[in-house]
Each structure stands twice: as structure tokens, then as C-alpha cells.
Amino acid sequence: MRRSFGTEISGNRRPGGELSPAARALVISKLEDGLSQQKIAIDLGISRGAVQDTISR
């Protein structure tokens, strides 16, 4: 599945699995750009909890 924002996230990722380092970097980048946690979660196809976990690391 190709995302319009340029980063491909595997559809084979297991639920509950960890985000890749690239996905974590993208979450942080989007936060620094001022996007909301909810918007980031929707854009990346991950849970808001995964975004929150990334922030707390």
C-alpha cells in the first residue's frame, strides 16, 4: 500500500508490533510540523496509542 505522503508502511505489520525506526522518525517529524496525534495516526494507519508511545520514548 503506497501512501501519498511518501513513506510506505507494510500491510504485513502485526497488530501490537513495534513501529520501525523510519515510522517512528516520521511520527516525530509530523509532530514537530504541528500535526495532531489523531491526524498522524490516521495518515500512517496506526493507532493513536502508537503515536503516544512514540512520544513517550
Mean pLDDT of the chain: 83
Q: Is the pTM of this model over 0.85?
A: no
Rounded CA gap, 21 and 27, in Å?
10
Indicate left, alpha or beta for 45 from its phi (over 0: left) and psi (-120 to 50: alpha): left
Per residue in 15-42, pLDDT (tens digit) is: 667 899 999 999 999 999 999 999 999 9
Nearest to 27 by CA among 57, 56, 54: 54
